[in-house]
Amino acid sequence: MNRPLLLSIFSAIGFSLSFPPFPTGFFAYFTLVPFFWLLDPLRPKAAFRWGYITGLFMSLGTIYWIYKPTLPGAVAAILYHPLFFGLFGWAYAYVRQRLGEKTIFAAPFLWVSMEYLKSLGEVGFPWVTIGYTQTYYLSLIQYAEYTSVYGVSFWIVWLNVCVYQIFRFSQDRRRWATYGGAFAALFIGAWLQGRMTIPEALPERESARVAVVQGNIDPYLKWDKNLREMNFAVYERLTLQVGRENADLIIWPETATPTYLLHDRAGLMRVRRLVLALNIPILTGTMDYIRLPDRSYKTFNSITLIDHGPGPYQKYAKMHLVPFGERVPWEDDIPLLKTLLSRFEMGEGNFSPGEEVIIFDVPIRRAAEQATNGGRIKVGGVICFESIFSDLVRQFVRRGAQLLVVVTNDGWFGRTVAPYQHAQIAVFRAVENRISVARSANTGVSMTIDPYGRVRKQTPIFEEAVFIDELPLRNETTFFTKYGHVFARSITALTILMMVMTAWTLKRRIS
CB 402 within 8 A of CB 378: yes
CB 441 within 8 A of CB 409: yes
Q: Which of 115, 254, 386, 432 is catalytic?
A: 254
- A 10 A CB-CB count for 391 gives 16
Characterize 424-449 residue by residue with b for buried, 16 or more Cβ atoms within 10 angstroms of its Cβ, and e for exposed. bbbbbbbbbbbbbbbbbbbbbbbbbb
The three state secondary structure string of 384-449 is HHHHHCHHHHHHHHHCCCCEEEEEECHHHHCCCCHHHHHHHHHHHHHHHHCCCEEEEECCCCCEEE
How far apart CA 339 and CA 487 sit, in angstroms, is 40
CB 243 within 8 A of CB 278: yes
CB 441 within 8 A of CB 214: yes
Is 298 catalytic? The answer is: no
How far apart CA 168 and CA 181 sit, in angstroms, is 15
Q: Which of 118, 222, 315, 318 is catalytic?
A: 318
Is 162 catalytic? The answer is: no
Q: Which of 115, 326, 384, 432 is catalytic?
A: 384
How far apart CA 452 and CA 197 sit, in angstroms, is 8
Is 318 catalytic? The answer is: yes
Q: Do strands 249-251 and 207-214 pair parallel, antiparallel, or not at all (unpaired)? A: parallel
| In 244-304, alpha helices (H) | 265-278
For the chain, the straight-line distance linking the first and the last C-alpha, in angstroms and rounded, comes to 42
Which residues participate in catalysis according to the annotation? 254, 318, 384
